Amino acid sequence: MTVQLRAATRDDAADMATLVNMAGEGLPRSLWARRADFGQDPMEIGIAQSRDDSGPFSWVNTTIAELSGDVAGLLISSAIGSEVTEMDSDTHPVYRPILRLENMALDTRCVHVLATQPNLRKMGIAEGLIAQVEKNPGKRGLSAIVADKNAAGRAFYEQQGYREVARLPMIHGDWQTPNTAWILFKKP
């Protein structure tokens, strides 16, 4: 079985939304539900967000891993600029610690989402995706933000040479999770 990496297209939006929600342990769906109309499936918001041409979770920022023509995983990354992102009253509280950590990772390329289909883990897909993004780091390397109870994710980044540089308490809102902190990892 050969894994092929390719740039995402708008047609990948449904797979993207599913994998983003899985990697985010339900947080994306919780946030999408706040934007959904009454009776609307929150995943429709995630799909629309994935189809959008802008924003960090856009298809434009996504690399897809395919196995036998099916989406096996994805990596979503974007450059964090050299200017601090200011927060205002419109910034959702759940995002505040994440933005604060991103502000500690200026001039890096941030891995926002790295996900592999559960039945395809431990096959080198994540390693292939991370190797692809490492070809285009920011001026100060790469970064990723991982939930503290995501032991597999934390171990993966450490095995790839990323090091923990900061952690901040999570703000849960209505998101039900055992996680208590976000951890910023960086790789020079």
pLDDT in tens, 57-110: 899 999 999 999 999 999 999 999 999 999 888 888 988 999 999 999 999 999
d(CA 12, CA 113): 15
- Report which DSSP code applies to 141: B
Task: Kindly state the tokens that stand for 14.
Answer: 């449904």
The 10 Å Cβ neighbour count of residue 100 is 16
pTM of the model: 0.92
- Tell me: the pLDDT tens digits for 104-118? 999 999 999 999 999
Place 159 in a pLDDT band, splitting at 50, 70 and 90: very high
CA angle 183, 186, 188 (to 5 degrees): 170
Q: Where are the beta strands (DSSP E) in the chain?
A: 3-7, 62-67, 70-79, 109-116, 142-147, 163-169, 181-187
pLDDT reading at 1 higher than 70: no
